[in-house]
Amino acid sequence: MNIAYFLLPKNSVAYLYDDCTFRQGLEKMRHHGYTAIPVITRDGQYVGTVSEGDFLWQLLDDGREISRPHSMKDLEQLRVRDILRGNHYPPVRITVSMEELLSSAMNQNFIPVVDDSGSFIGIVTRKDIIRYFAKEKDMEAPRLLRKIV
């Protein structure tokens, strides 16, 4: 099965540019109600995925010896690329198998999809992957019954 069938294209997905400010990133996530969102460069290359936890950890652990509240001015200087904490949402290519996609979906809510040059082209959601395998299982049951009879 070609995963392009399940792809939510880039123009239908919320994402952040890596040069967006900390505040802009939080506002976009809040507006959409997401807990994680893909991050791309201005030329469309996938950089990673930022989560609520990344924002929280930045607020709690910014290397200051004396803890004091952050001002909005401080947060305007910080960019989304500065708070990415490794890529816990590794991307896949459009040619990946459904089984490999399922393996990725066990650890993440969505799977970013990139083309051969690493450009972000969309996502596949865990919900769609589960739905696919549930239908496969339902279709397989009658075949097994016919073999038994």
Domain of residue 62: give its range. Answer: 3-148
Query: How many structural domains comprise the chain?
Result: 1
- Produce one character per residue of 18-44: b if its CB has 16 or more CB atoms within 10 Å, e if not: bebbbebbbebbeeeebebbbbbeeeb
pTM: 0.82
CATH at 29:
3.10.580.10
State CA 48 to chain mean position distance.
8
What one-character-per-residue DSSP string does 115-145 give?
-TTSBEEEEEEHHHHHHHHHHHHHHHHHHHH
Per-residue pLDDT of the chain (149 residues; tens, 9 = 90+): 678 888 999 999 999 999 999 999 999 999 999 999 999 999 999 999 999 999 988 888 755 555 555 666 777 888 999 998 876 789 999 989 888 888 888 888 899 999 999 999 999 999 988 888 888 766 655 554 455 54
